[in-house]
């Protein structure tokens, strides 16, 4: 080192060490990392002692091998392999060597006709070019599809002055007997009845049964206006015209009533026969549910001769009917309307709906509606038109439904003095199980069975007293 450099970089005269005296000093404590490893680790991972069997020992130089065949992993020069010799020093080997000039003929091939062709690997150039062209075409198609699928179309005008929507003509078929055909023929004969008394009011339905203005409906529809001088009754027809109405007669025991309007030329409903109806027959209910005039619903007859007790707040109706049950939607306001068959003939007067118990309000349709059979309604309607009242047969007993676990019946709770039941010898506690040839399984069925007769008819009563069954005959009186 020359003096000029020594003066610039040499240690100052007053410095003995390499650094300043106040520099941080290394600890004189022995580095734990330099301590000898524990004996257990040395024996497990240290270099084996001379003569110890190892994986790197040449065949034959140690204990006899366990296999008879020579190892496939040992070669003659394996002892000199630096990867097997733990004492081998690390050295830098030679670099990779490449041919300076590849043989140009190695890329040339000759076909069967003696033509020379350039080859890429083992693939002829023509096939390689075809593959390249196919890849380019496929990529172009994919790019085009992606462009057309992802691009946003320009907004079209919001309004189109010459817009004209498509129409189809002649596609609707309304055969005779279809629901639309039935509704078209019956709707003019079904009316809506509006009842008001003071600040209160209600809506029901009715069926025109005589062309000179007689309308059949339910007693509970008009009973609120019967004895109220401040009440009004108005009938609304299918053509939206209306007329005031008067009550001709009411029958609380059958829940039927007849009104009369002064309006000539009314359409009259055709009354059929409920005795010809069977379960499963299609039916149509027509009326004004919830005040919706001219509403048509459809269903089937789901049961016949269903005993249903009719009574309610605000009406004097106290009836038990042998109803036609239907799943056609019937709601408040349908009462008094028509239940018609597939021919358009009225087979029942819609009267009641089933509801879930426990509710405070009136329930809507749950698929269980009931109608008074037209055979019974016709007879009562004719009596009301003729005299204003209807006559019913009476046995003179009050009963409740009972069962012994095997058989049901109607147990007599009390008997009116001098009644047909008293004259026949019935006693309180007797359980009536049949009237004539009709089985009685409840108090409602007892009322229905008696009501099927006329006053003065003689009937056979079968009942159980104690443990024995007995039979008596009774002549019915008038309710």
Catalytic residues: 220, 255, 335
What integer best gives the mean pLDDT of the chain? 83
Which segment of 38-42, 88-92, 168-172 scores lowest on mean pLDDT? 88-92
Q: What is the pLDDT at residue 355?
A: 75
Give the whole-angstrom CA distance, residue 264 versus residue 87: 131
Q: What is the pLDDT at residue 29?
A: 53
Residue of higher predicted confidence among 108 and 297:
297
Three-class SS state of 409: strand
Identify each DSSP E strand in 174-315 by its residue range: 190-197, 200-210, 214-217, 231-236, 242-251, 256-261, 282-287, 295-311
pLDDT at 262 over 60: yes
Average pLDDT over residues 64-83: 62
pLDDT at 179 over 60: yes
Q: In what order do the strands lie in the sheet with 116-120?
A: 108-110, 116-120, 123-124
Domains in the chain, CATH or no CATH each: 176-355+364-390 (2.40.10.120), 393-478 (2.30.42.10)
pLDDT at 273 over 70: yes
Average pLDDT over residues 125-142: 84
Query: Which residues are within 8 A (CB) of 321 and not within 5 positions of it... i.e. 6 or more apart?
Result: 254, 255, 307, 308, 310, 351, 370, 372, 373, 376, 448
DSSP lists the bridge partners of residue 196 as 201, 232
> Do 192 and 236 meet the contact criterion of CB atoms below 8 Å apart?
yes
Which segment of 4-8, 114-118, 153-157, 363-367 scores lowest on mean pLDDT? 4-8
pLDDT at 401 over 60: yes
> Do 227 and 201 meet the contact criterion of CB atoms below 8 Å apart?
no
Residue 240, both tokens:
């939206």
Alpha carbon of 473 to those of 365, 418, 427, 457, 479: distances in Å? 43, 15, 14, 10, 18
pLDDT at 55 over 60: no
Which segment of 44-48, 71-75, 168-172, 263-267 scores lowest on mean pLDDT? 71-75
Q: What is the pLDDT at residue 110?
A: 65
Q: What is the pLDDT at residue 366?
A: 83
Q: Outline where 100-156 has alpha helix (H).
A: 125-150
Closest CA to 342 of 298, 382, 373, 305: 298
pTM: 0.66
Which segment of 100-109, 230-239, 412-421 scores lowest on mean pLDDT? 100-109
> Do 190 and 239 meet the contact criterion of CB atoms below 8 Å apart?
no
- pLDDT tens digits, 276-291: 999 999 999 999 999 9
pLDDT at 265 over 80: yes
pLDDT bracket for residue 67 (50, 70, 90) = low
pLDDT bracket for residue 175 (50, 70, 90) = confident
Q: Which own/partner contact pairs does 68-75 have at CB distance under 8 Å and 24+ positions apart?
A: none
């Amino acid at each position: 080192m020359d003096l000029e450099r020594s003066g610039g970089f040499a240690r100052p005269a007053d410095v003995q060490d390499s650094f300043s005296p106040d520099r941080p000093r290394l600890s004189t404590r022995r580095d734990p990392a330099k301590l000898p490893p524990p004996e257990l680790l040395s024996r497990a991972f240290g270099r084996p002692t001379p003569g110890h069997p190892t994986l790197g020992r040449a065949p034959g130089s140690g204990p006899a091998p366990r296999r008879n065949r020579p190892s496939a992993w040992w070669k003659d020069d394996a002892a000199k392999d630096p990867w097997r010799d733990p004492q081998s020093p690390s050295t830098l080997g030679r670099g990779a060597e490449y041919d300076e000039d590849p043989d140009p003929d190695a890329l040339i091939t000759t076909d069967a006709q003696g033509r020379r062709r350039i080859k890429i690997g083992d693939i002829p150039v023509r096939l390689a070019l075809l593959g390249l062209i196919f890849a380019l075409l496929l990529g172009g198609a994919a790019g085009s599809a992606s462009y057309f699928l992802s691009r946003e179309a320009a907004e079209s005008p919001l309004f189109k002055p010459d817009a004209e929507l498509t129409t189809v003509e002649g596609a609707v078929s309304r055969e005779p007997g279809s629901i639309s055909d039935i509704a078209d023929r019956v709707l003019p004969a079904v009316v809506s009845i509006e009842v008001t008394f003071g600040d209160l009011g209600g809506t029901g339905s009715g069926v025109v049964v005589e062309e000179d203005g007689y309308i059949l409906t339910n007693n509970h529809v008009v009973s609120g206006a019967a004895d109220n001088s401040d009440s009004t009754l108005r009938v609304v027809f299918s053509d939206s015209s209306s007329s005031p109405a008067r009550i001709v007669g009411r029958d609380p025991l059958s829940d039927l009533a007849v009104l009369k309007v002064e309006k000539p030329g009314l359409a009259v409903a055709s009354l059929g026969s409920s005795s010809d109806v069977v379960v499963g027959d299609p039916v149509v209910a027509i009326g004004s549910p919830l005040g919706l005039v001219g509403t048509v619903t459809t269903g089937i007859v789901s049961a016949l001769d269903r005993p249903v007790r009719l009574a309610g707040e605000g009406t004097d109706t106290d009836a038990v009917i042998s109803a036609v049950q239907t799943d056609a939607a019937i709601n408040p306001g349908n009462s008094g309307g028509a239940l018609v068959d597939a021919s358009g003939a009225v087979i029942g007067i819609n009267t009641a709906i089933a509801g879930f118990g426990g509710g405070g309000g009136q329930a809507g349709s749950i698929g269980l509606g009931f109608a008074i059979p037209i055979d019974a309604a016709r007879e009562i309607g004719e009596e009301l038109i003729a005299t204003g009242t209807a006559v019913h047969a009476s046995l003179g007993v009050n009963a409740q439904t009972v069962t012994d676990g095997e058989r049901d019946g109607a147990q007599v709770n009390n008997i009116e003095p001098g009644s047909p039941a008293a004259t026949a010898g019935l006693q309180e506690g007797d359980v009536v199980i049949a009237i004539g040839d009709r089985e009685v399984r409840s108090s409602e069925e007892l009322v229905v069975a008696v009501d099927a007769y006329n006053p003065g008819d003689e009937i056979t009563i079968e009942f159980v007293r104690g443990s024995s069954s007995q039979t008596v005959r009774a002549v019915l009186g008038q309710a």
